[in-house]
A and B are shown apart, each in its own frame.
Chain A
């Protein structure tokens, strides 16, 4: 039972730790598929995390925080677009600049506004996204009633009505003996952003391969001249891709500061943007692969935390740094030998210039 427990716990934190990677990875997928390399995922996540936590604590609302995180992150994405699409600048330089601006500005503004050494105030209940646990669900089922007392009540009631059936199902699943607790631990008990992140995987696949926007997005990353001569604006298309990127990095940032942590701490992205890029290459720019890559990297992270200090059989004690380096090492090894060549979108990184 003890080992089962340990495994479930590691898997559970795998999910928690892979969510920001997954969101950032999908964010990168939109921009890189459109032919814009985005090394600034890290910075956009960071400003999203800061804006989210700051707005949530000032306005006492998790949703306002999320909205602000997305807004600021999209604004930074537009800066990247302005430099690399409109002015055809070097995409790597622009991305690195964004990372620097993000790292510096969040600390300065945080200190100026909150005087807590670059932190934002600890978020109170209601300012964070709460976990949807088995208890929350059964509570909801027990207390639900349809009310038309005010418009707000009506909206809440309608939302409840939509959620009622899934809630019943999950409640029943969580009560099955044996299976129930594991289900409650792994699938339930996460915040709404976690479900959003995983729902984005099939959604992104659908957008990419079943919609007009997706077709054009994939085309512009391969051959922008083909898109141009087909009568489509390359510029506007790439800007739209970057808006998608900004939204997702915003959510990723909000997740870091408003779900995983109860507030913003300086440099809290800690290289996740880069791991997400590694995962993207590893996944060969495909959404479902991206999910597995991020889960794998999340698992390595979870395992490294779990194993910290406790010796493994046979190998003995593993330094934490080794586990932290593992995602990168793994990417290099697997790319070199096992999963074949990862071919990036062909027009990636090259500004579209018609007239030399």
Chain B
């Protein structure tokens, strides 16, 4: 086996009461692609941020190239040839690409020579790796795929020999992800070491040489990729057997519950985000809307749920129109049987500073069930919350706990429990499992399918293609504000990927 590029020995790290990393040992061989998988919150980002000097370990040792290294700041890590592309990009949005690249790596006190050097160096990197990007473009005007490229260039510009990528494919289309993997293979051929963090097991199988699995802050296993399977890795991640694809029977679609006709929505800058969209949602079916983030899905959801003004078109709920002026009363829509699980649970779905029981009736607080005269009926609310906690296996099961202290998956369950338990005729769900761990994903998917089987109409918007394919009875693909195709649940990933990238559409036009 090749010499170790990195060795981590007995790393511990706590954030307050949270033990993010416990006694971690890890060895990464030089010139390989090493994958790290684990559920959300397993401590992957923390571990790699310690290696990159962003956090300091409470105890433990780091060895780089066999020698003990003291990494106190990112500067130390950079000097040791370690580069990192963070999960949330570390770019200055209103700077140009060049400015971002030289930040911290300037040659002297004036910018002129740094810029000139970076320009020629970028040219070289571009030719060598096919990492093309306009050096004078402003970051916030670039699509995320290119922003990520800038992050990679930043690391290479600083002479990184070991490149850490934290969940790099979450923001990419399948085609962009393939391009990224080609670049990573090329880096490996040049003798560089790549550490790839992801929660997508298929990517691990496709590109890594070795894979390590983390669970709840500990390193549970390291395997050679060729000698393991997706099923084994999933089981190691969760600590029990999980169904990656929830079983479901045929849909029995009934009457049209929600009819969207020629809907057009603009965002605050006046850009058309939803462009003349029409579709029907029937009782007893799940319709999935696929697409890369930012292609109008969010605006579509908001318009249907009456939060955002539509420019034109109509939405009928059970044959009666929904007010699309943006002034719809969400309470009235709820009464009419439309429940909405918003994409962004932190800002829209929950008040994080509230207790769990308060969030579990949020928006339904004027329901007579929860009232005693003009006052809230605390006993009834608590009983209701406890009931939901049991039914949805929300942990920790304490209705008095502040909602911010629940994990992402449990927060999502709080929202879902609240909306589903109102027994709505139509359920609209945005990103049902964003930031939710594998175990909870299975649970949430089962609930949604149970809704469908009870004859409810369910609309799911998700950027996770796997999720769309496993849940939907019909798949609509959005690209640039339009629905560019409709497919059945057996559509292949490649087919959907092309649609999501707008490629089919261009070919047809």
Contact = CB atoms under 8 A, between A and B. Distances in A.
Interface residues of B, number: 33
A212 B111 contact: yes
Contacts of B108: 212
A142 to B, nearest CB: 41
B175 interface: no
A229 B106 CA distance: 15
Interface in A225-258: 225-233
A159 interface: no
Interface in B25-79: 52, 54-55, 73-75, 77-78
Contacts of A227: 103-104
A212 B110 contact: yes
A205 to B, nearest CB: 13
Interface string A114-142: 00000000000000000000000000000
Contact of A212 (B73, B77, B109): B109
B151 to A, nearest CB: 10
A354 interface: yes
Nearest to B94: A222
Interface residues of A, number: 25
Given A215-B103, A215-B106, A230-B104, A355 B90 contact: no
B133 interface: no
Interface in B89-114: 90-95, 99-100, 102-106, 108-112, 114
B469 to A, nearest CB: 35
Interface in B290-326: none
Contacts of A214: 111
A222 B90 CA distance: 11
B16 interface: yes
A233 B16 CA distance: 23
Nearest to B79: A231
A209 B96 CA distance: 12
A210 interface: yes
Contacts of B93: 222-223, 346
A304 to B, nearest CB: 37
Contact of A222 (B78, B95, B105, B111): B95
A180 to B, nearest CB: 40
A54 to B, nearest CB: 36
A76 B453 CA distance: 68
B352 to A, nearest CB: 13
B74 A216 contact: no
A211 interface: yes
A87 interface: no
Contacts of A231: 73-75, 77-78, 104
9 contacts: A211-B109, A219-B99, A222-B92, A222-B95, A223-B92, A226-B90, A230-B154, A231-B73, A231-B78
Lowest 3 A-B CB distances belong to which pairs? A230-B104, A231-B75, A226-B90
